[in-house]
């Protein structure tokens, strides 16, 4: 089952929840990136149907013949493109997609303005392994192999808090445009992502809204405004954002009509419960003959989660990171049989699997590194990004 949660939406993302579940006769797909196997599930049986999840999903969508009542809901993990470098392996499937007919739609009233929330004091003690990875990233940047590297890591948490309770806590403390809950064969994905990966509308306009540049909210209105202003004007944050905008303009140009790729919004500050974020918008119109899933593949993974240039930087990421990203840094949302789609980037997200009487949760956190980055500041940023996710897993914590 799934819940694409519109309760924390913004005007640009719509204020509607979409809910649904699979019947026994309904089809779902999963992907194991290490084995390069796409499995098709129906009537309690599974069969391997290919080695490319994008191709398998595109074939299934085409089979639906443009039926507007049919959509596919799920996620693509970071390692879903076998032609790009990435660590592969891990527990959760690298992709899950479910064919849904006639889902339930629920409209939400406009939300209240988002206010800042007090944060706990965090240890700024930067561990040695992060210092070493940061140093290698800096070496690669100074060699000219990358302009910006998104350095991330994973954490595992054991908790008695079940995924439904954890998600309800998360949506209360961190409402977001790409919030949502998905359950499939024992895997649970709990998202509070604020970032759009890709929207494809009825007129075949493709839009992405990369986030690059993040600061915490202030504890007072005055301090909050100082943090917002610093994000909007700091040369480091603006350089990070601009590099990813340029990368995405190139990605869109591969699948869009010449002359249609534009940047209607450049470096706008959006404020959420715990962070201010610097957001841009890049859009273009898909060329005739380019399918929706093909366009998603061209953009995947999100440039904000790799760095620039994409291919070489993904090689650097593979060298310096020590664990597979799994669903983290991928995309989560829906693809319609009629060609429309709307997916967010898998950040601020928990992935849960059962572990005896407890639940095993995994989360990813990180940030963009440039030559001007400071190791202690960057590590501190990863900690307060992860804080809201971790607080949802504390027994008895309803904050």
Q: What is the pLDDT of residues 247-257, one digit of tens each?
A: 999 999 999 99
Separation CA 57–CA 89 (nearest Å): 21
pLDDT at 58: 98
Do the domain assignments include residue 260? yes
Strand partners, 10: none
Separation CA 279–CA 213 (nearest Å): 8
The mean pLDDT value for 320-349 works out to 97
Token digits for 236?
């480091």
Do the domain assignments include residue 287? yes
CATH number, position 255:
3.60.120.10
pLDDT at 9: 67
* pLDDT at 44 exceeding the cut of 60: yes
3-state secondary structure of 326: coil
Q: What share of the chain is helix, strand, coil (3-state, %, to 5)?
A: 25, 35, 40
pLDDT at 91: 85
Determine the structural domain holding residue 371 and report its residue range.
2-111+126-391
Do the domain assignments include residue 186? yes
Do the domain assignments include residue 227? yes
Tell me which residue has tokens 């610097």: 278
Residues with catalytic roles: 195, 212
Entry pTM? 0.94
Do the domain assignments include residue 177? yes
Do the domain assignments include residue 12? yes
Separation CA 3–CA 190 (nearest Å): 10
Do the domain assignments include residue 120? no
DSSP state, residue 287: P
Token digits for 249?
């303009």
* pLDDT at 397 exceeding the cut of 80: no
Do the domain assignments include residue 119? no
Whether the bond between 215 and the residue before it is cis, its omega within 30 degrees of 0, is no
Number of folded domains that form the chain: 1
The mean pLDDT value for 162-183 works out to 95
* pLDDT at 118 exceeding the cut of 50: no
**E strand spans, 185-340:** 187-193, 196-200, 205-209, 211-216, 262-271, 275-285, 307-308, 331-336
* pLDDT at 114 exceeding the cut of 60: no
Q: Measured in whole angstroms, how far is the alpha carbon of residue 259 from the centre of its chain?
A: 28
């Amino acid at each position: 089952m799934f819940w694409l949660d519109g309760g924390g939406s913004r005007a640009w993302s719509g204020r509607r929840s979409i809910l649904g579940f699979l019947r026994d006769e309904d089809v779902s797909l999963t992907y194991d990136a290490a084995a390069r196997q796409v499995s098709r599930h129906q009537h309690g049986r599974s069969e391997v149907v290919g080695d490319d999840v994008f191709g398998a999903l595109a074939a299934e969508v085409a089979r639906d013949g443009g039926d507007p009542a049919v959509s596919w809901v799920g996620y693509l993990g970071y390692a879903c493109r076998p032609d790009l470098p990435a660590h592969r392996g891990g527990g959760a499937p690298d992709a899950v997609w479910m064919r849904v007919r006639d889902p339930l739609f629920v409209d939400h009233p406009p939300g209240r303005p988002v206010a800042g929330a007090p944060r706990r004091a965090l240890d700024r003690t930067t561990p040695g392994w992060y210092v070493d990875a940061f140093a290698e990233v800096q070496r690669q940047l100074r060699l000219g192999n990358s302009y910006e590297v998104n350095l991330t890591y994973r954490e595992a948490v054991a908790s008695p808090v079940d995924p439904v309770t954890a998600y309800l806590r998360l949506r209360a403390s961190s409402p977001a445009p790409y919030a949502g809950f998905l359950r499939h064969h024992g895997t649970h994905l709990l998202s509070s992502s604020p970032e759009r990966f890709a929207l494809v509308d009825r007129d075949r306009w493709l839009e992405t809204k990369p986030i690059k540049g993040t600061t915490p909210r202030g504890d007072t209105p005055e301090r909050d405004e100082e943090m917002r202003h610093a994000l909007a004007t700091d040369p480091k944050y603006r350089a990070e954002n601009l590099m990813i905008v340029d990368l995405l303009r190139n990605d869109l140009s591969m699948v869009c009509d010449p002359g249609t790729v534009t940047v209607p919004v450049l470096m706008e500050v959006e404020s959420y419960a715990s962070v201010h974020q610097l957001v841009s918008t890049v859009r273009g119109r898909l060329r005739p003959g380019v399918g929706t899933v093909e366009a998603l593949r061209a953009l995947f993974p999100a440039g904000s989660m790799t760095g620039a240039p994409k291919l070489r930087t993904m090689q650097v990421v593979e060298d310096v990171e020590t664990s597979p990203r799994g669903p983290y840094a991928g995309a989560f949302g829906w693809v319609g049989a009629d060609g429309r789609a709307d997916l967010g980037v898998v950040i601020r997200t928990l992935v849960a699997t059962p572990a005896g009487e407890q639940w095993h949760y995994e989360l990813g956190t990180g940030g963009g590194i440039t030559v001007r980055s400071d190791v202690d500041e960057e590590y501190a940023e990863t900690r307060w990004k992860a804080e809201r996710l971790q607080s949802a897993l504390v027994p008895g914590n309803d904050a």
